[in-house]
Amino acid sequence: MNVITASNSRSGAAGWARRLGKALSTPFDPEDYLALFDPLQSAREVRARVVSVARESDQAVTLTLQPNRLWQGHRAGQHVLLGVEIDGVRQQRCFSLSSAPALPLPAGGTLTVTVKRQGRGGVSDYLVSRCREGDMLTLAEPAGDFVLPEAPPERLLMVTAGSGITPVHSIVKSLLASNFTGKVVWVHFERGYQDLILSESLARLRRDPRLDLRLVLTGDRPRDGDLSGRLDEHWLTDNVTAAAEHTVFTCGPSGFLDTVMAWHQHQGRAPLFHERFKAAPVVAGEGGQVRFARSGGEARAEAGVSLLEAAEQAGLKPKHGCRMGICHTCKCRVGKGRVRDLQSGESRELNGQEIRICIHAAEGDVELDL
Amino acid sequence: MNAKVDHFDPIVFERQGVALTRSQVETFGREIDALRAEIMADLGEKDARYIRGVVRAQKGMELAGRGLLFLGVLPPAWLAGTALLSVSKILENMEIGHNVMHAQWDWLGDPALDSSSYDWDNTCPAEQWKHSHNYMHHTFTNVVGKDRDVGYGIMRMSDEQRWNPAYLFQPAYNWVLASFFQWGVAFHDLEVERLLKGEKSFAEYREQRRKIMKKVRQQVGKDYLLFPLLAGPFAPWVLAGNLTANLVRNLWSYLIIFCGHFTEHAEMFSEAEIENETRGQWYLRQLLGSSNLEGGRIFHIMSGNLSHQIEHHLFPDMPSNRYKQVAPKVREIAERYGLHYNSGRLSRQFGTVLKRINRLALPSRRKGRAAA
């Protein structure tokens, strides 16, 4: 999924040099050799060096990353799959980019992600507690449609909570850096001051008269001008003048989003954009529904029936060999879902990884790249 | 079905004077499974550092070797350059390429070491290799008529293969195969004999040949055209160095691979024997069909750890740096079941391979064993 091929289409001397380099290093790429001297070099993935780690609080950091030349830029509000090596294994998780984008990023340019500890020992926790300047990370192409329309509306209402602040920070920052002539009302809900991330940057943005930023604390005593309270279905109508007339961008925990969307359904008269930080539901029990992303079919797979058999029963003919887990011919990407290894009995959550479908069974809903 | 326990425990495996019952084979299989689980659960940062270190060493030696060959007009530079390039080509094909394509390093999640995208410095395209090697050879190891590595379609390595007079010359053309091993590996995937028998369509054959020829053009273009041209007046030395390095890699990989399955006591199997084979029986066939080589740390790395051929065949997707650790435990289990653990020094093992090649050049004395 994160495979990017270096462009061969460039004309002129650079194009010829690239083709000669490729021919001399075949079946590898020149970057595989250059990586001996500069680990940022790669022909197949965006690698990024951590140039600084700024501590936002004891629970969050902002990482400034310098990507290699394969990085193609992002739009404000998008997220990126960030890969980090933990105990030798590449693990990936989605993070919103908090910096305002530059298209294209100038050579040596940087971008930032702000990461909050989740306390489950995963990628977020690793980045908050162990990531150091000089470390190498990987980035997959940025994705997400939580972005401003080409012509931004004149009246914007941002409603965020917790780490939902990061994509909106990127949107607001890039908006204010442009010749935007409208107004932005941004309401951010946070438990307490010590939980607030990106506070320095918020203080700078706040000086811009086009932005009306209101911090609402749910579990702390508010200081100069900040509010206290909790979001309910009336809060926006009661506290923001003509709230219903604004185009809404909202991001935060699931319950929070549900409240904003319920309010918008009844009151809103302008579009709403939202970004949900998903946690895949853990499905108990065995067997499950298999969706074949490429052929478009769907099938029920019983417990103990391999995904390969399930696909074959559904009339597909996946590539396979030994049917016993040794030859890896049947490897197939799982878009999303939980699978059980039929040999070890172990079950795990997948998101874009490849598995041998001859020895894995569905454990809940599974999407296969078949 | 009768819910009562079936006390009848038939003998399901008999070889080399050892007979094992169904429940014994099953227990044996579970013991091997447990070894695998123990190692796989322990993989981590140390293993990742190991393979990345090998890749760095290989790429570094290749750069240094190719650089020195540009000064190849000076004999010491030519010798050192050729030696470095030979070692790097061996490491790339054996400890890196072969093992990466076995998916030994897929767990790292690193696209540079992933079995689905890796291609090696060899004329055989990765995709075809993964079919003929990972699937055909590893699933049907030493099954005459199924495992095409048994003689690569041109040599008689088992009594079960029907003799014909061409085999009289195999003690000689064995060395031709050894010298051009990468070409033998690439073209044996075409399965010309299956095409002639009509078991394979011409369209499939033509498509495979197209892919092989594309890879051949890239490989030949790099080693025998571009690098010599780049050296200008020193082209002959660069060309000679590259030719030598490929020859050394061919001979070495041939040597290691033939010692893996064709030594004196390596067992061959028939297609009938593997019908309804259980996982335990499959393990037994891997154990008895493979043979190990003894040596030091560098020797094991240079052989791509195929010196632990038995362990590699039991656990083809276990990272190769772990075979050394698991080998004594496999040996202990084998000996407890009275099974032969075939292991010896390279010179002794290869001597028995040559003996087999010479013996099978002649028709078999034992009647009734020739396959129909």
Following DSSP, what letter does each residue of A285-301 receive, concatenated? SSBEEEEETTT--EEEE
pTM: 0.84
**Chain A neighbours among B 197-256 (CB < 8 Å)?**
215, 218-219, 221-222, 226-227, 230
A192-214 per-position pLDDT tens digit? 998 899 999 999 999 999 999 99
Contacts of B297 (CB under 8 A, 6+ apart): none
Residue A39 lies in a domain: yes
Least CB-CB distance to B139: which of A33, A92, A326?
Answer: A326
B47–A contact, CB cutoff 8 A: yes
In this structure, what CATH number is given to the domain that contains residue A72?
A: 2.40.30.10
CATH number, domain of A212, equals: 3.40.50.80
As for how many domains chain B has, the answer is 2
Q: Which stretch of A92-96, A155-159, B160-164, B294-298 has the lowest confidence by average pLDDT? A: A92-96
Residue B74 placed within a domain:
yes
Domain final position from B91, B106, B121: B121
Q: How high is the pLDDT of residue B368?
A: 46
On the question of pLDDT at A95 being above 90, the answer is: no
- Give me the mean pLDDT over the B55-68 stretch: 98
Of A3, A89, A321, the CB nearest to B134: A321
Model pLDDT, residue A1? 33
What confidence score (pLDDT) does residue A280 get? Answer: 37
Is residue B5 in a domain? no
pLDDT in tens, B135-153: 999 999 999 988 988 888 8
**Residue A215: predicted pLDDT:** 96
> Same structural domain for residues A37 and A53?
no
Q: What pLDDT score does A172 carry?
A: 95
Mean predicted lDDT score pLDDT of chain B: 93
Which residues neighbour A146 within 8 Å (Cβ) at sequence distance 6 or greater? A77, A78, A79, A167, A249, A251, A273, A274, A275
| Segments forming the whole domain that contains residue A7 | 1-44
B24 within domain boundaries: no
- When comparing pLDDT for A94 and A280, which is higher? A94
Q: Are residues B90 and B160 in the same domain?
A: no
ipTM score: 0.90
Last residue of a domain, one of B121, B156, B188: B121
| Residue A368 in this model has a pLDDT that exceeds 50 | yes
Mean pLDDT of A231-246: 94
A205: tokens are: 């943005």
Question: Are the C-beta atoms of residues B271 and B143 closer than 8 Å to each other?
Answer: yes
Residues B187 and B254 in one domain: yes
**What value does the CA radius of gyration of chain A take, rounded to a whole number of Å?**
23
Residues B264 and B136 reside in one and the same domain: yes
Task: Using a CB–CB cutoff of 8 Å, tell me whether B188 touches chain A.
Answer: no
When pLDDT is averaged across residues A46-72 and rounded to a whole number, the result is: 92
Do B67 and B143 reside in the same domain of the chain?
Answer: no
Residue A281 domain-assigned (yes or no): no
The answer to whether residues A30 and A80 belong to one domain is: no
Residues B77-99 pLDDT 10s: 999 999 999 999 999 999 999 99
Q: Which residues pair with A67 in a beta bridge?
A: A48
Determine, yes or no, domain membership for A205: yes
DSSP code of residue A142: P
In-domain check, residue B334: no
> Quick one: pLDDT at residue A10?
52
Q: Do B68 and B214 have their domain in common?
A: no
Q: What is the average per-residue pLDDT within A238-253?
A: 94
- Residues B4-24: what's their mean pLDDT? 84
Please check whether residues B110 and B77 belong to one and the same domain: yes
A40, A52: one domain: no
Q: Which residues of A touch B (CB under 8 A)?
A: 2-3, 20, 23-28, 32-33, 35-36, 42, 44-45, 83, 85, 87-92, 321-322, 324, 326-329, 331, 343-344, 353-354
Tell me, yes or no, whether B87 and B186 share the same domain.
Answer: no
Contact B222 A26 (CB under 8 A): yes
pLDDT digits (tens, 9 = 90+) for B228-241: 999 999 999 999 99
> Is there a domain that residue B38 lies in?
no
Q: Which domain holds residue B356?
A: 122-275+342-372
Which residues are A81's β-sheet partners?
A94
pLDDT of residue A281: 37
pLDDT of B370 higher than 50? no
The C-alpha atoms of residue B316 and residue B308 are separated, in whole angstroms, by 11
Most confident of B50-64, B127-141, B200-214: B50-64
Q: Which of B102, B121, B140 is the last residue of a domain?
A: B121
pLDDT at position A11 is: 65
Domain boundary among A251, A276, A301: A276
When pLDDT is averaged across residues B220-229 and rounded to a whole number, the result is 97
User: Structurally, how many domains does chain A consist of?
Assistant: 4
Is B172 a residue whose pLDDT tops 90? yes
pLDDT band at residue B266 under the 50/70/90 scheme: very high
Average pLDDT, chain A: 87
Model pLDDT, residue A103 = 62
Give B109's pLDDT tier (boundaries 50, 70, 90).
confident
Same domain, B170 and B153: yes
Interface of B with A in 99-158 (CB under 8 A): 102-103, 106-112, 115-117, 119-121, 126, 130-131, 134-135, 138-139
Which pLDDT does position B148 carry in this prediction?
Answer: 86
Interval B247-256: pLDDT, tens: 999 999 999 9
CB A178 within 8 A of CB A267: no
Q: A76 in helix, strand or coil?
A: coil
- Same domain, residue pair A35 and A122: no
Q: Does any domain span residue A225?
A: yes
Of residues B197 and B126, more confidently modeled: B126
Residues A121-132 have a mean pLDDT of 91
Q: Is residue B127 part of a domain?
A: yes
Residue B297 lies in a domain: no
Average confidence (pLDDT) over B174-200: 89
Helix (H, G, I), strand (E, B) or coil at A258: helix
CA separation, residue B98 to residues B54, B85, B286 (Å)? 13, 18, 18
B317 and chain A in contact, CB less than 8 A = yes
Query: How would residue A341 be classed by pLDDT, with cut points 50, 70 and 90?
Result: confident
Domain-located, residue B106:
yes
Contact A327 B130 (CB under 8 A): yes
Core vs surface per residue A136-150: b (16+ CB within 10 A) or e: ebbbbbbebebbbee
| SS3 call for A179 | coil
Residue B62 and residue B128 in one domain: no
Q: What is the pLDDT of residue A357?
A: 93
The pLDDT of residue A4 is: 41
Is residue A175 in a domain?
yes
A3 confidence band (pLDDT: 50, 70, 90): very low
